[in-house]
Amino acid sequence: MKLRRSMLFLPGANAAMLSTAFVFKPDSIMFDLEDAVSLREKDAARLLVFHALQNPVYRDIETVVRINPLNTPFGLADLEAVVRAGVDIVRLPKTDSAADVHELEAEVERIEKACGREVGSTKLMAAIESASGVVNALSIATSSQRMIGIALAGFDYVMDMQTERGDGTELFYARCAVLHAARVAGIDAFDVVYSDVNDEEGFLKEVELIKKLGFNGKSLINPRQIELLHNAYAPTEEDVDYAHRVVAAAEKAEREGLGVVALNGKMIDAPIVNHAKRVLQKAQASGVRK
Amino acid sequence: MKIIKEALAGTLESSDLLVKVTPLPEDRVDVVIQSEVMHQFGEQIRQVVLATLQQLGLISGQVVIEDKGALDCAIRARVQAAILRGAAVDQLDWSKLS
């Protein structure tokens, strides 16, 4: 199971950031060719990302590229570049329906065949940024075998809903809808960016909320947020200790051919064992919460 | 490929480079490289630039590079961007740009 707690946005036109971002070790790095790049730099950013993706420093980190929408003059060229360069995941912005993903998937498959890349090896994720996208979240999440996740994008969404960012009330329905769609589809769910990078307290409060809701992680705009996020997602010592005991009890029951697992007199079923394994995986990835 | 108009790509920020291309009246390629790390990496930078120009098939134009310690991948990208802009090329063959 791939951990995707942190997805760090990098402006695709910024050579310095593209050259150094791997040192911050987010779970995924997302090169942005869309909103972070001005119209006159789209061509140069596409080339920078094309070459950065092939740089060996990004071999051991999951790479994501947010392309421009396919109905713009840039989207298809972005896709040609990044699929050929070996990107792990293409992030489609402003996804309103499953048809948007189907259109993307057809183009990805065409490019994979043209460049000799294994068909199906380019994974996809969709950013949901509108009321239509939220209402169609389930059909979007289940639209393709290539889908690894869906992300809520807060700014455009609240504009579409004729409201503004606040204490999170304005995102409550969308967060729950996106999260449920992801869980039904068996893919990951990513929360919105927290744009005030100097407000650590506010950031951590939001992280605590989305972690409780069940999000896998969050899109980030500053490397400083990575450690804060990973620490908040790290299990406590008590969590790890309990998870070890659950897994040990499950393994013992399996060795003894017992159908029912018990720990301290309480029955433990498969979801609890799976949760315990996820806790141990998180502990291995990020240590115990400080 | 020939440079038919002046064009720029890149910046003078650290870890980046600025590439300026200018048309020449005859089929000749002039390359000028300035770099903050010329002493240590000058030859490597030159090799990357020349290989990139050859890959694009540039036969005419002046290429002036001011490097601020960019990685090879950024050098390739900026040189390609400047040349393609200066040659007014819109349709790319991505298989020839790796």
Whole-angstrom Cα distance, residue B68 to residue B16? 5
Summarised one tens digit per residue, pLDDT across range A184-218 is: 999 999 999 999 999 999 999 999 999 999 999 99
Q: Which residues of A touch B84 (CB under 8 A)?
A: 43
In CATH terms, the fold of domain A6-233 is: TIM Barrel (3.20.20)
The Cα A170–Cα A165 span in angstroms is 7
- Neighbouring CB atoms inside 10 A of A173's CB total 12
**pLDDT score recorded for residue B91:** 80
Distance CA A261, CA A273 (A): 9
B17-22 vs B29-35, strand pairing mode: unpaired
* Nearest-CA distance A143 → chain B (Å): 29
Task: Report the phi/psi class of residue A165: left, alpha or beta, with left for phi > 0 and alpha for psi in -120 to 50.
Answer: beta
pLDDT of residue A290: 79
Residues A71-129 have pLDDT tens digits of 999 999 999 999 999 999 999 999 999 999 999 999 999 999 999 999 999 999 999 99
Which residue stretches of chain B have pLDDT < 50?
Answer: none
Interface ipTM: 0.95
Mean pLDDT of chain A: 94
DSSP state of A192: P
Assess contact for B3 and B89: CB atoms under 8 A.
Answer: no
Per the listing, tokens 């036109």 go with: A13
Residue of B nearest to A42 (CA): B81
- Tell me, yes or no, if A18 comes closer than 8 A to chain B by beta carbon: yes
Q: B83 to chain A: nearest residue by CA?
A: A44
Q: In chain A, where are the structural domains located?
A: 6-233, 237-286
Structure confidence by residue, pLDDT tens digits, A39-70: 999 999 999 999 999 999 888 899 999 999 99
Does the beta carbon of A51 lie under 8 angstroms from any beta carbon of chain B? yes
B17 contacts in chain A (CB < 8 Å): 15
Instruction: Using an 8 Å CB-CB cutoff, list chain A residues near B76.
Output: 47, 51
Q: Is A47 on the interface with B (CB under 8 A)?
A: yes
pLDDT tier at A288, thresholds 50, 70, 90: confident
The predicted structure's pLDDT at residue A203:
96
- Measured between CA atoms, the residue of chain A closest to residue B92 is A77
Report CA-CA distances (Å) from A258 to A60, A246, A248, A264: 41, 15, 13, 16
Model confidence at A254: pLDDT above 90: no
- Domains of chain B plus CATH, in order, are 7-89 (3.30.230.10)
